[in-house]
Amino acid sequence: MGAQVTNYQCPACTGPLQFVGNTGQLECEHCESKYDVAVIEQIYADKEQAAATAGTEPKWDLSAAGGNWSEEEAAHMRIYSCPSCGAGIICDDTTAATSCVYCGNPTVVPGNFTGMIRPDCVLPFKLDKNAAVTALTKHYKNKRFLPKVFEAENHIEEIKGVYVPFWLFDGESEAYMRFKGTKVSRRRSGNYEITRTDHYRVVREGNIKFEKVPVDGSSKMPDAHMDSIEPFGYGELKNFSSAYLPGFLADKYDVDADTCGERANERIKNSTEDTFKKTTAGYTTLTREYSKINLKRGDVKYALLPVWMLSTKWSGKDFLFAMNGQTGKLIGDLPVDKGKYWGWFFKIAAVTAVVLALLLYFIL
């Protein structure tokens, strides 16, 4: 029968560990870290347990996410699709959709309102278009290289209020994290500077509950934009009613809750790690040796959240701005007018050349 050989790797740098008899520890020849045998055995035991349970973790409970539209509600809803980028836009029958909120394409094609679930809740718009225009104007004020198209008042008026589809996840994380920390102090003794390094094993363990972790259900909406305009005040969530839709558009979700659950897992794990690391202040260096986070997945709700959006094209590229329709927080990348940029560059270069020439003239 063949023997099983286990090659232990350093938790700090993944280099090979070797047992050193005179210290009784496992040592890394690359980063010189040292570990007790019991610590390494526990780390590998935890890894084996995690591998054994992979794929057996419970999934998010999607049974309560969304509902059915009533015949009366569906009769007064319209859906438009953009032939350019494929976005689906929903609105009531009194709203005229004239252009796509994502790519700015002026052509939208009406279609049948079918195959959609009804949202559980909605966060009504709190800020109007004037607030959105003011925030956008402030965002690009005094930007030297901004194209003139962004300064045109008629362009600003194309900003649209859109209810963006979100899946809201409730869950809990159970975490155990272990770090290797050092505290370095220095003092002088005569002509010598003495450096002292104390080593610590830092352990954090606990549970964190999460409520309404948002993940947008639109593939057209950049996740970075939605993350940046958070948070939303969920205390003002209302049970969904189509009465909140007149005058606004709504994006049709095209990423289901099951798929979005992976990103919810990632967001919860990252938030858990960040929260635990904030409790480890005071160390000169801190290296994570081991982290294990188990998730208890709970309910999922389907919500529409308010966002003011402006899309435009510049030099063949799409630029998208998004503002939280509740708090006014705005995000968006500004395009650069290359003509303005190079004009300014050559002016500065010319002035610099003149100054250098004068300096050389007076020095020589």
pLDDT of residue 345: 45
pLDDT of residue 7: 65
Give the best-scoring range by mean pLDDT among 168-172, 216-220, 346-350.
168-172
Is residue 148 scored above 80 in pLDDT?
Answer: no
Q: Which residue has the higher pLDDT, 35 or 50?
A: 35
DSSP of 145-190, one letter per residue?
T--GGGG-HHHHTT-EEEEEEEEEEEEEEEEEEEEEEEEEEEEEET
Rounded Cα distance, 200 and 191, in Å: 30
DSSP of 292-331, one letter per residue?
EEEEEEEEEEEEEEEEEEEEEEETTEEEEEEEETTT--EE
pTM over 0.85, yes/no: no
Rounded Cα distance, 34 and 12, in Å: 10
Name, in order, each residue with C-beta under 8 angstroms of 209's C-beta and a sequence gap of 6 or more: 171, 172
Mean pLDDT (whole number) for 148-165: 74
pLDDT of residue 363: 65
pLDDT tens digits for 318-361? Answer: 778 889 999 999 888 776 655 554 445 455 555 565 566 556 65
pLDDT tens digits for 231-289? Answer: 999 999 999 888 888 888 888 888 889 999 999 999 999 999 999 989 988 999 998 88
Q: Which residue has the higher pLDDT, 11 or 235?
A: 235
Q: Is the peptide bond before 124 cis (omega within 30 degrees of 0)?
A: no
pLDDT of residue 1: 38
Structure tokens at 360: 């050389």
pLDDT of residue 157: 65
Question: Within a 10 A sphere around the Cβ of 335, how many other Cβ atoms?
Answer: 19
